[in-house]
Homo-oligomer: A and B are copies of this chain.
């Protein structure tokens, strides 16, 4: 569909900024341009990437999910609780983590669709509730002593980090789903004009529930991957992850008003944030200035992107 294929070209401004930043970094540092560092960047963006793909579904329906970070923590704690060595098969903690995330997502979805409460409020509530639950379940202490099978999830296969493979897989499936599946197109329709979608017989409530559920599932996955990476279920992990994830999606051209956006855009947004973080570290920019520069680049990138999209 032109509406989608156009996207890469459409996001040309963003690609340009990423390339420019990359070029600058290659010139300034002798460490940026290396396979090892690219693997690094890929690994570092994978958790934010998985979250960003998940929240893309929700943002496309004109919703929002502020609970990502807390649900990452809760799923991580839930997963770690069942991941002590020799207790269960490795699939149990993974399933528990994914189910926890999905459950939170579905609760959000039900409150939004049946309860008619604004997504901002529902997910803000879930943000504090999930954090509280993570602290309660873990007794406020990190859940450690995870089995090697589970922490191996943060390792490599064929030299590629598994989190990166997860992210790539998730992104591909999401892209294919949104592009080719009826339900995927309905997500756009609901976000684009809810009344029109309903009048055309689209089951609006079910579509929204699906979007929140999928977002929850991917949040659970991010929680499991994070727990594997840091080898603990950390009840205070994931602080403000939702902001980075939503920022990546919006940078990638998805409208907070719903109905517009693509997974390729989201990937570019995730990449931009990852490259900036990596590059500023490599350049040894002082952290205070890092904050300022990061803010300026993000606003500048989006400005450039929109400017060329208009022209």
Contacts and interface: CB of A to CB of B under 8 A. Distances in A.
A299 to B, nearest CB: 4
Contact of A307 (B116, B121, B303): B116
Chain A interface helix/strand/loop/mixed: helix
A4 interface: no
Given A121-B299, A243-B124, A288 B250 contact: no
B115 A291 contact: no
Contacts of A247: 120-121, 124
B299 A125 contact: yes
B294 A128 contact: yes
Contact of A250 (B121, B132, B251): B121
A299 B117 contact: yes
A45 interface: no
A246 B298 contact: no
A257 interface: yes
Given A132-B288, A136-B288, A290-B132, A118 B256 contact: yes
Interface in A276-311: 287-292, 294-296, 298-299, 302-303, 306-307, 310
Most chain B beta-carbon neighbours within 10 Å: one of A246, A250, A292: A292
A117 B302 contact: yes
Interface string A117-140: 110111011111101110110001
A111 interface: yes
B292 A120 contact: no
Given A257-B257, A302-B121, A136 B292 contact: yes
Contacts of A306: 115-117
Contact of A303 (B116, B135, B296): B116
A250 B120 contact: yes
A295 B132 CA distance: 9
Contacts of A66: 243
Given A125-B296, A128-B294, A129-B292, 15 more contacts: A116-B303, A117-B302, A117-B303, A121-B247, A124-B243, A124-B295, A126-B299, A127-B295, A129-B291, A132-B289, A132-B290, A132-B295, A133-B292, A136-B292, A140-B288
15 contacts: A111-B299, A117-B303, A117-B306, A118-B250, A120-B256, A121-B247, A121-B251, A124-B243, A124-B298, A125-B298, A128-B291, A128-B294, A129-B291, A136-B288, A257-B257
Closest 8 CB pairs of A and B: A132-B291, A129-B295, A125-B299, A132-B292, A125-B295, A128-B295, A135-B288, A128-B291
